């Protein structure tokens, strides 16, 4: 099983992003997803900057994928999506069906990202027919569900399977920006306020229990998904990739430990409920 580094979902200053990927280039992480997948208003990095990072990472021997936006809202965003896929010269992670359509039309192989709702074997085989080479399991689905899908196919699946194994699970996207709303400003005049929250803005219940992370237009789980204890099980199921979603520079060290079979740091707010068919914020394994 390979460890993959998912796209950076937070809004960081440009120099911090470059420093992060310089360290990734020096690491043993084999698979890297790169690109703005959350909000089109985040423009610290231009598309050419992502291409520069991709060139650096490929020179370091990484498999690099361009991650696309998960929520397209305007015709101009779709036009820009087509331009990027056409000119990047990279394999892509399609995070919504518009990107799937473009990849299919351009005959570009793609990874189907976790924000596309693929819940059955028939839809997955159709995606594979259109060019899907790898399927990232939606975060809310369980191990038992995945096993049933894999068992439903006669013989090995014709595409790879990746599981979101570590990080704050992306749960939902909205046309509204909750970070801007929290600060009392309009989305169109957001002042890029989410750059002040490098791991998102924690939202708690009335009982002061951490519940969600507000990351611009994206809502994440407050607890950190940790399925590292399930890697052996995943390998026996035939899962090919374990995704780590980066949230800090320390994510690189965590990925290195996962690859070498070492225990990774834990904290009091981890979860694995979805994988075991329970509420997502539950911690089933101790």
Rounded to 5°, the CA angle 161-164-169 comes to: 150
User: Which has the closest alpha carbon to 97: 80, 79, 115, 76?
Assistant: 115
pLDDT given at position 266:
82
Q: How far is CA 63 from CA 42, 54, 74, 132, 272, in A?
A: 25, 9, 30, 16, 28
pLDDT of 139-156, one tens digit each?
999 999 999 999 999 999
pLDDT given at position 285:
85
Length of the chain: 286
Q: What are phi and psi of 113, to 5 degrees?
A: -70, 170
pLDDT of 106-126, one tens digit each?
999 999 999 999 999 999 999
pLDDT of 251-272, one tens digit each?
999 999 999 999 898 888 999 9
In the predicted model, what is the mean pLDDT of residues 214-235? 96
pLDDT given at position 147:
97
| pLDDT of 249 strictly over 90 | yes
Query: Binding site for [4Fe-4S] cluster: residue ranges?
Result: 39, 177, 190, 194
Query: pTM for this one?
Result: 0.94
| pLDDT of 74 strictly over 80 | yes
Binned at pLDDT 50, 70 and 90, residue 166 comes out as very high
pLDDT given at position 239:
97
| pLDDT of 78 strictly over 80 | yes
| pLDDT of 188 strictly over 90 | no
User: Residues 176, 189: contact at Cβ < 8 Å?
Assistant: no
pLDDT given at position 173:
94
Compute the distance between CA of residue 194 and CA of residue 3 in angstroms, rounded to an integer.
28
| pLDDT of 187 strictly over 90 | no
Binned at pLDDT 50, 70 and 90, residue 14 comes out as very high
pLDDT given at position 141:
96
Query: Binding site: residue ranges?
Result: 39, 177, 190, 194
The mean pLDDT value of the chain amounts to 95
Binned at pLDDT 50, 70 and 90, residue 43 comes out as confident
| pLDDT of 286 strictly over 80 | no
In this structure, what token pair is assigned to residue 187?
């989305």
Binned at pLDDT 50, 70 and 90, residue 82 comes out as very high
Task: Find the range with the poorest average confidence among 66-75, 185-194, 222-231.
Answer: 185-194
In the predicted model, what is the mean pLDDT of residues 212-226? 96
Which helix (H) or strand (E) segment is 224 a member of? strand 224-226
User: Residues 226, 282: contact at Cβ < 8 Å?
Assistant: no
User: Residues 137, 146: contact at Cβ < 8 Å?
Assistant: yes
In the predicted model, what is the mean pLDDT of residues 202-207? 93
Taken in order of first residue, the domains within the chain and their CATH numbers are 2-171+225-263 (3.20.20.70)
User: Which has the closest alpha carbon to 161: 7, 32, 4, 272?
Assistant: 4
């Amino acid at each position: 099983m390979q460890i993959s580094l998912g796209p950076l979902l937070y809004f960081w200053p440009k120099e911090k992003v470059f420093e992060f990927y310089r360290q990734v280039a020096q690491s043993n992480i084999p698979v890297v997803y790169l690109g703005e997948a959350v909000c089109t208003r985040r423009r610290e990095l231009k598309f050419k900057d992502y291409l520069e990072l991709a060139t650096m990472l490929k020179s370091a021997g990484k498999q690099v994928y361009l991650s696309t936006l998960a929520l397209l809202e305007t015709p101009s965003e779709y036009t820009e999506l087509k331009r990027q896929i056409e000119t990047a010269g990279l394999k892509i992670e399609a995070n919504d069906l518009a990107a799937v359509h473009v990849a299919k039309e351009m005959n570009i192989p793609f990874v189907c990202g976790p924000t596309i709702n693929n819940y059955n074997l028939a839809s997955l085989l159709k995606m594979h027919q259109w060019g899907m080479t790898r399927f990232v399991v939606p975060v809310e689905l369980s191990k038992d569900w995945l096993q049933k899908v894999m068992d439903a196919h006669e013989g090995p699946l014709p595409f790879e399977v990746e599981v979101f194994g570590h990080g704050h699970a992306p749960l939902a996207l909205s046309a509204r920006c909750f970070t801007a709303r929290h600060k009392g400003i309009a989305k169109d005049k957001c002042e890029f306020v989410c750059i002040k929250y490098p791991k998102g803005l924690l939202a708690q219940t009335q009982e002061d229990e951490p519940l969600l992370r507000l990351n611009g237009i994206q809502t994440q789980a407050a607890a950190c998904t940790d399925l590292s204890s399930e890697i052996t099980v995943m390998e026996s199921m035939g899962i090919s990739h374990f995704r780590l979603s980066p949230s800090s520079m320390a994510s690189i060290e965590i990925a290195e430990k996962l690859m070498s079979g070492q225990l990774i740091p834990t904290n009091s707010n981890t979860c694995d409920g979805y994988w075991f068919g329970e509420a997502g914020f539950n911690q089933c394994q101790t």
